[in-house]
Amino acid sequence: MAHALASAADPAAVLLKARGVLKMHTALADDMRQIELFRRLDSDVHRELFAADAMRRRLSGSVERLPEIIAQHRDYFGPV
């Protein structure tokens, strides 16, 4: 979570989402009948955070390569 906050373009949005998930976890924590929903929710949150981090790394590499990408695919771009 700390890494997601540190690298997020909008840390406030990450905190808002985390607070919402924490509320849902808290509501489900005392009800053992809801353990499967708790686990799915937890898994979804972690997957989303890691996916966002992977996407950020992927896009940062693309931005750095933008001049090369434009040169290779000149027909996709207007006059530069």
The rounded mean pLDDT for the chain is: 80
Give the pLDDT band of residue 25 (cuts 50, 70, 90). confident
CA distance 39 to 50: 17
Q: Which band of pLDDT confidence, cut at 50, 70 and 90, is reported for residue 80?
A: low
Please provide the DSSP assignment of the chain as one string.
-HHHHHH-S-HHHHHHHHHHHHHHHHHHHT-GGGHHHHHHHHHHHHHHHHHHHHHHHHHHHHHHTHHHHHHHTGGGS---
In the chain, where the domains are located = 2-74
* Per-residue pLDDT band at 20 (split at 50, 70, 90): confident
What is the band of 56 on the pLDDT scale with cuts at 50, 70, 90? confident
